[in-house]
Each structure stands twice: as C-alpha cells, then as structure tokens.
Amino acid sequence: MARDNPHARSAASYVWQVLVVVVCLVAGVLLSTTRQFSHGDEIRRSDTTRLSSLVRGAQTSADATERTRDELAARLTELRNTAGALDSNVADALAQATPLEEPAGLRAESGPGVVVTLTDAARGQDGRYVADASPDDLVVHQQDVQSVLNALWSGGARAVAMQDQRITGQVAPRCIGNTLLLGGRTYSPPYVMAAIGDPAMLSAALADEPGVTVYRQYAVRYGLGYSADVQGNVEVPAYDGSIRLRYAQPG
C-alpha cells in the first residue's frame, strides 16, 4: 500500500482554507447588499411618508385659503350693498341739507342793507380825553356790540357779518380788554357790522334798541364813534368754520 504524500495533503488543506475564506467574503458581501437594499426601501418609504404629509398639509392650507376667499368675497358683496345704501342715504341727506345752507350762513350773500361802525373815543387836540370821563367811558364794550347785533336781527336781517366773519350760532363777539375776540381771531376798533335786509326796518330797529340808544348818548358826550349807513349793496361772506355742535343738542 503506497504511503500518503504529506505535501499533497498540505496543498489540499490550503485550498480548502482559501475556499472557506472566499465563501465567507461572498456571504458577507451578499448580506451587506441585502441590508443596503433593505435600508434603501426604508428611505424610500420614509420619503413617501413625508411627501404624503406635505401634500396633505398643502391641501389643508389650500382649503383654508379657499374658505377665507369665500368669506372675503361675501364680505365684499355685503360692503358694496351697504355702500349703495349709504350713497342713497347721503344723497337724501344732502338733498335735505341744501335748503338749510342759506339760513345756516353757509352761502355768501349780498343785497341792500345797513352798515354800522363803532369806534373808541379819539383824543382831543390837546391830547386829552373829556375831563370827567373814566377809561370805560371811552371804549366800545361787548354790550355795545351785542346791542347793535340784536337790533339788526330784530330788524329782520337776513344775514349779518362783523369785520370779515359771518355771524352764526357758532360765532359770538367777546371783548378782551380793548380788543374783540371773534371766531378765534382778535380785532381792534373800528368794529364794523353789516346786515342785509330792509334798510328802513333795520334803521328803525337800531333806533328802538335801548343799548344802542345809551351808546349813542355816550358817543355824543365822550366822542365815541357811531355811524349807521344805508347801502344799496352790502356783501356778507359765508361762514367757513366748523358746524359741529359742541354743547347744544338738536331738538
């Protein structure tokens, strides 16, 4: 019986070892590839999940925007209808207010009337006033101005102005020292009041007003200025201030 060759056995053993290593390497590569593919599926599944979530969120936002659009469109329609009603109401209000512009003093007017002028007393040639006069006797007071205005209104004046302002319910003269406050502006004499109306009736009302009578007596004694001139064309400006009531309430 032939004896075994030790070199042959050694070579065969080496070949088997190499084959085992190769098999292990191949198995490892297969396992690694399978795992990568598996993870790749998970990634794709994860991306799909996120994409679906984004789509659902976008759809929700689109739905909400659409609802908001519908609500705004409905609101716009409502506002248009309201604006139409307001335009109609404004037109009605303007139609009612237009006839009131003249009695409210919102229109400039002209016509025959009377112009009254009041001035402080002038100094004499010696530079002095009347000897027995007090300072109050020599200046125009608020009650003097008010007496003239009252007489003009009672005489049927259709429109009255003082200085360059229309006299209305919102404008009243106030004396501050030797100046007059009227409509937020100050004036010094002479004080000029113009009234449109029947000249004869206005003149008669001035003659019958007690306050005007007293002033004219002082004018004679202390040199105060007074004149009432009838004119064929008196111009009265329109009132250009605020017409909003601050204290009074409409009846």
At 103-132, the pLDDT tens digits run 666 788 999 999 999 999 886 544 455 667
Q: How far is CA 181 from CA 136, 159, 161, in A?
A: 18, 20, 14
Instruction: For the chain, give the mean pLDDT.
Output: 76
Residue 221 pLDDT greater than 70, yes or no? yes
Instruction: Give residue-wise pLDDT tens across range 86-95.
Output: 666 666 666 6
- Write down the residue that tokens 């909003």 correspond to: 244
Contact 196, 234 (CB under 8 A): yes
Output the pLDDT for position 41. Answer: 47
pLDDT in tens, 41-77: 444 455 556 656 766 776 777 778 878 877 887 887 7
pLDDT digits (tens, 9 = 90+) for 140-155: 999 999 999 999 999 9
As a whole number of Å, the CA-based R_g of the chain is: 52
Q: Torsions phi, psi of 106, nearest 5?
A: -90, 5
pLDDT tens digit sequence for 21-34: 445 544 554 555 54
The answer, yes or no, to whether residue 100 has pLDDT greater than 90, is no
- pLDDT at residue 200 greater than cutoff 90: yes
Residue 85 clears pLDDT 50, i.e. is over it: yes
The H or E element spanning position 115 is: strand 109-119
User: How far is residue 125's CA from residue 127's CA, in Å, rounded to a whole number?
Assistant: 5
Peptide bond into 135 cis (omega under 30): no
Spatial neighbors of 170 by CB under 8 A, at least 6 apart, are 183, 239, 241, 242, 243
pLDDT of residue 105: 65
Check residue 177 and give its pLDDT.
72
- CATH superfamily of this structure's domain 109-236: Protein of unknown function DUF881 (3.30.70.1880)
CA 163/CA 81 separation, integer angstroms: 48
CA angle 67, 71, 77 (to 5 degrees): 145
> Which amino acid is located at 62 in the chain?
A
The per-residue pLDDT for 152 is: 97
**Domain ranges (residues) in the chain:** 6-98, 109-236
Using a cut of 0.75, tell me whether the model's pTM lies above it.
no
- Point out the least confidently predicted range of 24-38, 180-194, 205-219: 24-38
- Give the pLDDT confidence score for residue 127 in this predicted structure: 46
- In the chain, the percentage of residues whose pLDDT exceeds 70 is 61
Q: Binning pLDDT at 50, 70 and 90, where does residue 246 land?
A: low
CB-CB neighbours of 222 under 10 Å: 17
Distance CA 155, CA 204 (A): 7
- Predicted confidence band of residue 183 (pLDDT cuts 50, 70, 90): confident
Regarding predicted confidence, which is higher, 179 or 155? 155
pLDDT in the model for residue 168: 85
